[in-house]
Structure 1
Amino acid sequence: MSCLSRAFSILFMTCLAVTAVAVGGAWGRVNEPATESAPAPTQLAISRPPASADPSPSPIPTPLPGPISSSASMRSSGVARGADREIVVSVSEQHLWAYEHGRLVAESVVVTGRPELPTPTGSFHIRTKYSPYRFVSPWPKGSPYYYAPLWSSYAMEYQSDGYFIHDAPWLSDWAYGANVRGGSHGCVNVPTAEMSTVYHWARIDDLVVVQS
């Protein structure tokens, strides 16, 4: 083979080698079908309240009320009644009445707010029900209104600013009916036995009328 032929052969083989590298390299993948899987959908972060060592209980579902076996009389309380189901609280009388279609189904003496922390008057509706519920003081230690955390067996919030109708196991029976101990922090306190009856009878959205 002449030198010219040998040189041409070497050049031809070199070109073939370069072409093979191009096909097998990055350029060759441009025309190949995609083989990479689509990226996994991003997991949405769900915002949850921070864990607490002793969190307040969540509201429980409101049970459907059954027939009330109550010994409450049909006497008139002297307060206005209009809704099919309503709870009426009289601040001046320190008393609560529960009515269904005008029939008195439960009543109780109560303790309402002290003069500087009065129970708001007006028409409201039951917003949430809790059993049990833990009350934590919004006032700091050292405040004359501070109180240590307290548990209630039955609590019904009727005003968005944190006003409840609830039992108060920490009160003595003699404290009810006349604000003997200066009154509550604004809530309507009811003896536990009577509050159990009202709680299990009441429904979300029932009318609450607080009168002066």
Structure 2
Amino acid sequence: MINKQVARIGVVGMVAFLFAMLFMVSPAGTFSARAATTDTGGSKVIDVNLTQQKLTAFEGGKVVYTTLILTGRAGLQTPVGTYHVFAKESPTTFYSPWPATSPNYYPPTHINYALEWKAGGYFLHDSWWHSAYGPGTNGWHDDPTYGWQDGSHGCISMPNVAAQWLYNWAPIGTMVQIHS
């Protein structure tokens, strides 16, 4: 009787453990939303103008938010096209796909709000290491707080307050239109 009860508790415990593992957050302690609420009606659109280095959020065809941004540098330009947000992470850590010997390498970087819109690590995200956004920031520029910097590695970065607003506003499926 005791052995059957111990076996039952062991099996129940193992099942409970496996079930709990299914609902754990990722190892970095991030919240990842890959199939949460979706915008299937297309009422929300994120418009990214690379020439103006400006992001505009539309809902039902009306402007609801706008912010200056910083996008991809020469050789690592932000891709042009129509995409959809397919993943959201808050917080997360970005890891460089380039080796430490590469001029494109960056150290592991904490990100508060990230919305992935193109496979391969293309995100809309906050960038605490920048204080200047807008025209000219996608190239070599003098950031008033952090000194000389280049544009991004292809991501669309913005101030933390803008990234937080966008993260809370844009569900999975939100259209992202990127153009010159």
| AA partner of residue 204 (structure 1) | I
How far did 1:182 drift? Answer: 2.1
The alignment status of 1:156 with 2:115, answered yes or no, reads: yes
SS class of match (1:195): helix
How far did 1:57 drift? Answer: 2.5
Distance 2:32 2:80 in 1: 25
1:129-149 Cα distance to aligned partner (Å, 9 max, x none) = 000010000100111001110
Which of the numbers 194, 198, 201 marks the counterpart of 2:169?
201
Number of aligned residue pairs: 143
SS class of match (1:59): strand
| AA partner of residue 126 (structure 2) | D
Q: Is the 8 A contact 2:82 2:177 kept in 1?
A: yes
The alignment status of 1:192 with 2:165, answered yes or no, reads: no
Alignment match, 2:70: 111
User: Which structure has more strand as a fraction of its residues?
Assistant: 2
1:14-43 Cα distance to aligned partner (Å, 9 max, x none) = xxxxxxxxxxxxxxxxxxxxxxxxxxxxx9
The alignment status of 1:93 with 2:52, answered yes or no, reads: yes
Q: Is the 8 A contact 1:62 1:129 kept in 2?
A: no
Alignment match, 1:72: none
Q: Is the 8 A contact 2:114 2:124 kept in 1?
A: yes
Query: Structure 1 stretches of 5 or more lacking a match?
Result: 1-42, 49-53, 66-82
* % identical aligned pairs: 36
| AA partner of residue 195 (structure 1) | A
Structure with the greater alpha carbon radius of gyration: 1
Q: Is the 8 A contact 2:34 2:172 kept in 1?
A: no
The alignment status of 1:59 with 2:27, answered yes or no, reads: no
Normalising by structure 2, report the TM-score: 0.73
| AA partner of residue 193 (structure 1) | V
| AA partner of residue 135 (structure 1) | F
Q: Which has the higher contact order (CA 8 A, sep 6+)?
A: 2
How far did 1:104 drift? Answer: 1.1
Q: Is the 8 A contact 2:81 2:178 kept in 1?
A: yes
| AA partner of residue 133 (structure 1) | T
Alignment match, 1:120: 79
The alignment status of 1:143 with 2:111, answered yes or no, reads: no
Distance 2:179 2:159 in 1: 20
Normalising by structure 1, report the TM-score: 0.62
Q: 1:205 to 1:96 in 2, by over 3 A?
A: same
